[in-house]
């Protein structure tokens, strides 16, 4: 069982289902409204835990009803909450998600407490980080906190995984040099490398540019095409499972969390770990919501 520490966001998601995306200045009716637990960090932690990992979480929520609800849900998945601060001066993060009939989404985020911690909070959790197999982070929390966590991980010989989302065109060079594995989707990869990723050839080109920035291992998820990986002598496209998607929210988060449960710290089983992650994501996209859609290990093992 891998030990994973996630530094990341915790959000209350407000979801709207619509026939199509709204145009500027237009008003449309929603078909359904519901709330669910979310946040890229929390989603990845839940996916890892449900796939069999021991998971620690470092982040923050507000001292409010949504924060208490999010913590209770994370606790149900047996995630170690010792690294989560409850802050009085900020409200719990929120995301407002619109999903159309094609399963595509548009998301607006209010960070709130997700930006209420930094290097000092990370330093106080050094033991959690140093005792992990992997440390995972995204960009819905302060970059300086991620950098501090990756410094601790690097010193302890712990492998780091960066999900560069939401996309940033200028990622700090010192953070990339401390990143062992970067996992962007095709849009994020294009933002970083200026290479439009549409197939295996363009993914390989983008991966080489990411290597040039100092990252040893690359996985680029390409939606329904699957995921391209490139590390030393290992590379290739692992095909996605073809299913009818109803909501792509948390598909990428499921991929990263599930992958971290299977990936060996020496990266020797990339293809098998990616295939497992693709199986998990294929279940998530067939369900609505973020964390409610993330599958458990028994479900993933049944995907053929």
Residue 192 has φ and ψ, to the nearest 5°, of -80, -40
**What's the pLDDT band for 186 if we cut at 50, 70, 90?**
very high
Known catalytic residue at 253: yes
Q: Over the chain, what is the mean pLDDT?
A: 94
**What's the pLDDT band for 224 if we cut at 50, 70, 90?**
confident
> Greater confidence, 233 or 57?
57
**What's the pLDDT band for 265 if we cut at 50, 70, 90?**
very high
Residue 252 has φ and ψ, to the nearest 5°, of -65, -35
Q: What is the pLDDT of residues 23-68, one digit of tens each?
A: 999 999 999 998 889 999 999 999 999 999 999 999 999 999 999 9
Residue 290 has pLDDT above 90, yes or no: no
> Greater confidence, 290 or 212?
212
Q: Do the annotations mark residue 153 as ligand-binding?
A: no
Q: What is the pLDDT of residues 251-260, one digit of tens each?
A: 999 999 999 9
Predicted pLDDT at 195? 96
In 63-172, which ranges are continuous DSSP H helix? Answer: 65-76, 119-123, 126-130, 143-156
Q: How far apart are CA 245 and CA 100, in angstroms?
A: 11
Q: What is the pLDDT of residues 153-162, one digit of tens each?
A: 999 999 999 9
Q: What is the pLDDT of residues 106-152, one digit of tens each?
A: 889 899 999 999 999 999 999 999 999 999 999 999 999 999 999 99
Q: Do the annotations mark residue 185 as ligand-binding?
A: yes
Q: Between helices 186-193 and 200-212, what is the axis angle to 10°? A: 50
Predicted pLDDT at 243? 92
The answer to whether 128 and 58 have CB atoms below 8 angstroms apart is yes
Q: Do the annotations mark residue 194 as ligand-binding?
A: no
Q: How far apart are CA 267 and CA 284, in angstroms?
A: 25
Q: How far apart are CA 227 and CA 221, in angstroms?
A: 4
Predicted pLDDT at 95? 87
Q: What class is the 3-292 domain?
A: alpha beta
Q: How far apart are CA 87 and CA 62, in angstroms?
A: 5
Q: How far apart are CA 281 and CA 295, in angstroms?
A: 8
Q: Do the annotations mark residue 163 as ligand-binding?
A: no
Q: Residues 160-177: what's their mean pLDDT?
A: 95
- Among the listed residues 64, 77, 180, 253, the single catalytic one is 253
Predicted pLDDT at 223? 86
Q: Do the annotations mark residue 42 as ligand-binding?
A: yes
Look at the block and give the residue holding tokens 């279940």: 283
Name the pTM for this structure. 0.93
Q: Do the annotations mark residue 224 as ligand-binding?
A: yes
């Amino acid at each position: 069982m891998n030990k994973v520490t996630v530094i990341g966001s915790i959000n209350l998601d407000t979801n709207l289902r619509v026939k199509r995306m709204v145009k500027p200045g237009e008003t449309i009716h929603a078909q359904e409204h519901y709330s669910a637990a979310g946040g890229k960090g929390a989603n990845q932690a839940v996916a890892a835990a449900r796939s069999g990992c021991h998971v620690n979480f470092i982040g923050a929520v507000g001292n409010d009803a949504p924060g208490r609800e999010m913590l209770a849900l994370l606790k149900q998945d047996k995630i170690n909450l010792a690294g989560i601060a409850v802050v009085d001066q900020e409200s719990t993060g929120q995301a407002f998600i619109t999903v159309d009939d094609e399963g595509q989404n548009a998301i607006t985020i209010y960070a709130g407490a997700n930006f209420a911690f930094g290097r000092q909070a990370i330093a106080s959790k050094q033991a959690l980080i140093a005792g992990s197999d992997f440390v995972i982070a995204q960009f819905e929390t302060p970059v300086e906190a991620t950098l501090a966590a990756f410094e601790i991980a690097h010193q302890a010989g712990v492998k780091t995984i960066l999900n560069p989302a939401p996309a940033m065109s200028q990622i700090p060079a010192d953070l990339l040099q401390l990143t062992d594995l970067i996992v962007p989707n095709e849009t994020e990869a294009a933002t970083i490398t200026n290479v439009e990723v549409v197939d295996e050839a363009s993914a390989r080109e983008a991966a080489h540019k990411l290597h040039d920035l100092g990252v040893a291992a690359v996985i680029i998820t390409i939606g329904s095409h699957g995921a391209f990986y490139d590390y030393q002598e290992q590379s290739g496209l692992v095909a996605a499972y073809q299913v009818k998607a109803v909501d792509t929210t948390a598909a990428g988060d499921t991929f990263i969390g599930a992958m971290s449960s299977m990936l060996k710290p020496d990266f020797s089983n990339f293809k098998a770990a990616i295939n497992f992650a693709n199986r998990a994501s294929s279940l998530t996209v067939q369900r609505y919501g973020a964390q409610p859609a993330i599958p458990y290990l028994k479900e993933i093992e049944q995907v053929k």
